[in-house]
Amino acid sequence: MNPGHRMGSSLPMIIECIKIICNIKQTSLANPGPSVKRLLDNMKVKWCAYFTEFPPIISIAAILDLGVKLEGLTNLLTFYYQQLDVNFDVPYYVNKCKRILERLCEDYGAVIQPQPVGSSMGAFRFGILGPVLKKQRPDGPGSSSSSNTGIGEYLSYQHETEEDFHIIQWWKNHSSKFSVLAKIAKDILAIPASTIASKSAFSAGRRVLDEKRSRLSSESIEMC
């Protein structure tokens, strides 16, 4: 399976991070010169400043990948931190991501699923968001209602994925079976894995229009 072909997944980002660290480690073990070794060490320190812990949103997106889920994410991150030579509690982190997903399912489920007749004035005032505002948040992984949101069924769902597997399309086709999770997948998997494109646009704009060139017309800015 080539993870790069898995459309709509954050998995390629995790895979690319693992590749980068493996290349740094292999190059460092090849006994390069002192200047290269110092450069590699600095790269590793810089890398750890950003990627010692992945943002949970990226890992949740990986959990929503049929070919990854909890076990696959645990295996990937365990291998990643072994290559990084960092002591990291992977099971705790993966369980934290699972709890976040469970809470998302509760909040989404309160909005998506129809509410019983006879709701309070507070719920009427805020419409379908009333139950979300009043909901008691769970403190532990065992206190969420996984049976109502379909998390347990999804995690035990057996499905073989092809190389050109399209995650967004799969969730669309299975939205009736996993209505709450499909809505979450639609929102989370649409988030760009990197902010490089948006930052690049702002950087380019700052070079064109700054405090010394603040009176350019829209046509001149477009040409620049």
The pLDDT assigned to 160 comes to 64
Decide: helix, strand or coil at residue 38: helix
pLDDT tens profile 174-190: 998 899 999 999 999 88
**Confidence check: pLDDT of 27 > 70:** yes
Closest CA to 163 of 67, 59, 80: 67
DSSP 14: H
pLDDT above 90 as % of the chain:
28
> Closest Cα partner for 93 from 65, 55, 62, 51?
55
* Cα distance between the two ends of the chain: 43
The DSSP-derived string for 93-114 is: HHHHHHHHHHHHHHHHHHHHSP
Which pLDDT tens digit goes with each residue over 103-157? 999 999 888 765 454 444 444 444 545 555 554 444 444 444 444 468 888 988 8
Q: What percent of the chain stands above pLDDT 70?
A: 75
**Average pLDDT over every residue of 30-46:** 88
Structure confidence at residue 99 (pLDDT): 94
Tokens encoding 182: 């499909």
